[in-house]
Amino acid sequence: MQKVTILGSTGTIGQQTLDVISRHASQFEVYALAANSRVDEILQQCIAFNPRFAVLLDSVAASKLRALLKTHHSQVEVLEGMSGLEQISSATEVDVVMAAIVGAAGLKPALAAAHAGKRILLANKETLVMAGSLFMEAVKQGGATLLPIDSEHNAIFQVMPLKQCEHLAEGGVRKIILTASGGPFRKYSNAQLQQVTTELALKHPNWVMGAKITIDSATLMNKGLEVIEAHWLFNAKPEQIDVVVHPQSVIHSMVEYIDGSVLAQLGNPDMRTPIAYALGYPERIASGVASLNLLEVAKLEFEAPDVERFPCLRLAYDALKQAGTASTILNAVNEVAVSAFLNKKIHFLDISKVIEQALTKMPSVAVESLEHILAVDAEARTFAEHWIGSTQSKVLSA
């Protein structure tokens, strides 16, 4: 019986992880659940799965959850804050940690799991984007097992050579090809992009995801972050990572080999597939995902991404090439900008503008420590907030 901690249990990935676990009750037990402040959702999860711990980042929400669990005569112990997240990520009893907290808040508990040698199911992009060198070193030193959950990186992991290679070429790999749906605005003109509302941007054509990642998909920043992730996960150089737009989202990513072979992983666009693959690895377990019907798919389309209309992808490549703290700056400013867009404080196209300004004006320096990363993150967020506060962009209408 493997005991599982789920960081971000009330989000889309967390809920789908619980769905897969519920199909394999004899193999997996929920040890701990964690969320930010969604009391009602995590309460129902506690009742259904009876974990040892539940953690809420928000202290007021944690107090409310304690009171509600008492009325249900539950023995679940409620912890709060970052210390609580780190505790349930590194506890001796835990075998598997699903790291699915969105944003910078997921960094510290993921590092705690790495240092403790856990099997980490990494769904938090920001951990690698913010602090890739520190996190990968922690995985190595702690003896942790790292399995990517993003559908693209999970696909790459599945079709990579079985033997572990320090460099792609040693495994006969020429390059990695990340697929992108293109988001809801793939065919929009520049004039149309200037009129994009939050409501439109939150309607992804293929995937059901949280608000932040859905906006990132619309700007192609999500793919940019995945390029940076792929660099760290597979020790790939920027020029070894390609992005191709594939609107059907059936091929989740591909690996090209030096002999001309291209291996791809296909499946319906459902995150339970990579979750089940990582939970059961190296065995395969049922996910609840329907079989892919190729006759219904009928055709698969591909096109190059347009980095002029969607500059966030270009900016991510730029940050990766700059190295050092550039990707930390990119991630922090993007988080602030996406939040501002969701709250209708800036326009859709302003997201890339503030990121470019930050990368231009904030110097990238070598990463020194976690404290250094967090200081750069805070500085970048302040830069973004000042830019947003001073911009003359009109507030989007509802």
**Mean pLDDT to the nearest integer, 350-366:** 96
Q: Residue 372 sits in a domain of what CATH number?
A: 1.10.1740.10
Q: Evaluate if residue 177 carries a pLDDT over 60.
A: yes
Q: In this structure, is residue 177 part of a structural domain?
A: yes
Q: Which residues contact 373 (CB under 8 A, 6 or more apart)?
A: 107, 130, 131, 134, 325, 328, 367
Q: Evaluate if residue 392 carries a pLDDT over 60.
A: no
Question: For residue range 293-323, what is the model confidence (pLDDT) as tens digits?
Answer: 999 888 899 999 999 999 999 999 999 999 8
- Whether 285 and 338 share a structural domain: no
Model confidence at 396, in pLDDT bands (50, 70, 90)?
very low
- Whether 116 and 98 share a structural domain: yes
**Mean pLDDT to the nearest integer, 127-143:** 94
Mean per-residue pLDDT of the chain: 92
CA distance 92 to 188: 51
Q: Evaluate if residue 187 carries a pLDDT over 80.
A: yes
Question: Residue 397: what pLDDT?
Answer: 43
**Mean pLDDT to the nearest integer, 107-127:** 94
- Whether 137 and 232 share a structural domain: no
CA dihedral (326, 329, 331, 334) positive or negative: negative
- Smallest CA-to-CA distance from 56 within 101, 113, 16 is with 101
For 72-92, b where at least 16 C-beta lie within 10 A, e where not — what string? eebebebbbeeebbbbbbbbe
Based on the structure, what is the number of domains in the chain? Answer: 3
Taking residue 165's Cβ as centre, other Cβ atoms within 10 Å add up to 14
- Whether 19 and 120 share a structural domain: yes
Q: Residue 75 sits in a domain of what CATH number?
A: 3.40.50.720
Question: Residue 273: what pLDDT?
Answer: 95
For 202-218, b where at least 16 C-beta lie within 10 A, e where not — what string? eebebbebbebbbbbbb
Question: For residue range 34-58, what is the model confidence (pLDDT) as tens digits?
Answer: 999 999 999 999 999 999 999 999 9
Angle at 232 between CA 231 and CA 237, to 5 degrees: 30
Identify the domain containing residue 88 by its residue range: 2-148
Q: In this structure, is residue 94 part of a structural domain?
A: yes
**Mean pLDDT to the nearest integer, 224-236:** 95
Model confidence at 164, in pLDDT bands (50, 70, 90)?
low
Question: For residue range 322-350, what is the model confidence (pLDDT) as tens digits?
Answer: 989 999 999 999 999 999 999 999 999 99
- Smallest CA-to-CA distance from 254 within 107, 321, 154, 114 is with 154
CA distance 358 to 335: 13
- Whether 198 and 134 share a structural domain: no
Question: Residue 165: what pLDDT?
Answer: 65
Question: Residue 393: what pLDDT?
Answer: 45
Tell me which of 203 and 345 has the higher pLDDT: 345
Q: In this structure, is residue 313 part of a structural domain?
A: no
Q: In this structure, is residue 176 part of a structural domain?
A: yes
Question: Residue 202: what pLDDT?
Answer: 85
CA distance 245 to 129: 22
